[in-house]
Chain A
């Protein structure tokens, strides 16, 4: 595995990834119809902010969280100014979850950043994703029907989609709404850990629109 210093708060890639040189050609059954609870999450491959390839299928065996983001969106700002998203990322990755922050803003649009800028944002905000995936063509976003920032997806260890929707149940930009909010991602991760069903597998995501090309 190439030697590099992890960004502050980011987990190193599982060694598993470095040994995988193939791109899976098999398509998940749900690929054509988009994400569906209880079905394999749409597969994708992308490049992260350190130039590493990220391939969802290769993450089988890990719970995976997908977080669509745009640092200039006030709904994302609410989660990061409060420290809420960073704390959730730390808790999750501390339990072996792979957390992917995905940026699907097209070049020149709000939220579009270079790899270096993405890494600087991770550092300056104390964020703790496993990786930040750059998706300027919007291919991964469209594959998931990602419509808002934030828009959250939780995938279990077998690669099945178990949650999609909002980060929490308070669709506002007010940080005062964080403490009392029901955080759907946190609840989904707890359910997976306890082996119980996810109570709210589909919720309405809220936020700014993803700035596709």
Chain B
């Protein structure tokens, strides 16, 4: 994250009120050949020390896709670089649950149609004068059969509220709130990892009690090399527990101490898309079994 060096002197004299125009918190999208990039901010104006949320929306051409933080077997993750005024800071981007793309033996993780990545922004207690201009330089790889690197810069301006809190932008806030609600939950089931020469056994204690047997489970690793992305995953239920057997990836000969990723649970044809949970599992010498 680079800090914006110097305020806009000619803007300092302007009085930005809380009733800034509707354009201020949702700047015009920028078109790249296969992705239209839009920036959102959930406030029109913010007060000193106030937190707000921004979102970057990729509107992706039909048939094309961009990639998750772990793109999988191929592709490249989208890269975001914010340019912010002095003292402002963003938290880490929160990526939506990725789709699993499978073409023959190649599996990648990413997005089609539309993806919104959101971040919390912190306003300094004593912000510099002038409007708050946030710019993001975004680079991504978009593929169908061909792969094309693209990039765009989007900007949004917020006003400075003189009151205790700024004015929210209800429309943008609703879109960001929807995205936040769709983020993966932390898995409520303790996870245990047993590491073998060529496979991993990931046990989730109590999952079998909470998730029907008809649901499909799939583990998407956060890091490359620990899990073979293309290999099938088998699930065994024993009592209240469920154990996924994962084939190890290209780093199979390196020690593995822990595993992070998303557990996708697809409950069947009536639900649109899987529910996802963040899983963190530490490796133990042997998989513990349920005591039920």
**Which of chain B's residues 218-232 have a Cβ closer than 8 Å to chain A?**
224-225, 230
Residues of B near A80 (CB, < 8 A) are none
Given contacts A209-B74, A213-B104, contact A202 B148 (CB under 8 A): no
**Which of chain A's residues 116-158 have a Cβ closer than 8 Å to chain B?**
138, 142, 145, 147-148
Structural contact, B74 and A204, CB atoms closer than 8 A: no
Contact of B250 among A138, A165, A173 (CB under 8 A): A165
Contact of A147 among B106, B149, B253 (CB under 8 A): B106
Tally of contact residues, B, Cβ under 8 A: 25
Report the Cα distance A212→B20, complex, angstroms.
53
A151–chain B nearest beta-carbon distance, Å: 9
Report the Cα distance A200→B139, complex, angstroms.
28
Report the Cα distance A105→B110, complex, angstroms.
22
A3–chain B nearest beta-carbon distance, Å: 39
Report the Cα distance A148→B229, complex, angstroms.
13
Residue of A nearest to B225 (CB): A204
**Which of chain A's residues 149-190 have a Cβ closer than 8 Å to chain B?**
164-165, 171-173
Residues of B near A138 (CB, < 8 A) are 104-105
- The stretch of A30-38, A41-49, A94-102, A191-199 in contact with B is A30-38
Structural contact, A72 and B146, CB atoms closer than 8 A: yes
B122 CB–A CB distance under 8 Å: no
B21 CB–A CB distance under 8 Å: no
Given contacts A147-B73, A148-B73, A165-B250, contact A212 B104 (CB under 8 A): yes
Chain B at the A interface: SS class: loop
Structural contact, B253 and A212, CB atoms closer than 8 A: no
B248–chain A nearest beta-carbon distance, Å: 10
Q: B251-290, CB under 8 A of A: which get 1 and which 0?
A: 1111000000000000000000000000000000000000
A57 CB–B CB distance under 8 Å: no
Report the Cα distance A37→B250, complex, angstroms.
9
Structural contact, A202 and B225, CB atoms closer than 8 A: yes
Contact of A148 among B74, B225, B254 (CB under 8 A): B74
Structural contact, A207 and B146, CB atoms closer than 8 A: no
Residues of B near A145 (CB, < 8 A) are 105, 250
- What is the count of residue pairs linking A and B with beta-carbon distances less than 8 angstroms? 67
Report the Cα distance A118→B73, complex, angstroms.
26
Report the Cα distance A164→B225, complex, angstroms.
12
Q: A48-73, CB under 8 A of B: which get 1 and which 0?
A: 00000000000000000000000011
Structural contact, B250 and A209, CB atoms closer than 8 A: no
Structural contact, B106 and A206, CB atoms closer than 8 A: no
* Chain A, interface residues (CB within 8 Å), range: 20 to 34
Residues of B near A147 (CB, < 8 A) are 73-74, 105-106, 230
Residue of B nearest to A142 (CB): B105
Residues of A near B55 (CB, < 8 A) are none
B199–chain A nearest beta-carbon distance, Å: 11
Report the Cα distance A133→B208, complex, angstroms.
49
Residues of B near A211 (CB, < 8 A) are 103, 145
B278–chain A nearest beta-carbon distance, Å: 22
Structural contact, B251 and A202, CB atoms closer than 8 A: yes
B125 CB–A CB distance under 8 Å: no
Residue of A nearest to B253 (CB): A37
A98–chain B nearest beta-carbon distance, Å: 23
Structural contact, A171 and B76, CB atoms closer than 8 A: yes
Structural contact, B149 and A74, CB atoms closer than 8 A: yes
Q: A74-94, CB under 8 A of B: which get 1 and which 0?
A: 110000000000000000000
User: A73-B147, A206-B74, A212-B105 are known contacts; what are 11 more A-B pairs with Cβ within 8 Å?
Assistant: A75-B147, A109-B145, A110-B145, A138-B105, A145-B250, A147-B74, A147-B105, A173-B141, A202-B250, A207-B74, A209-B75
15 residue pairs bridging A and B, Cβ less than 8 Å apart: A38-B253, A74-B147, A74-B149, A110-B146, A147-B73, A148-B73, A165-B250, A204-B250, A206-B76, A207-B74, A208-B143, A209-B108, A210-B106, A211-B145, A212-B105
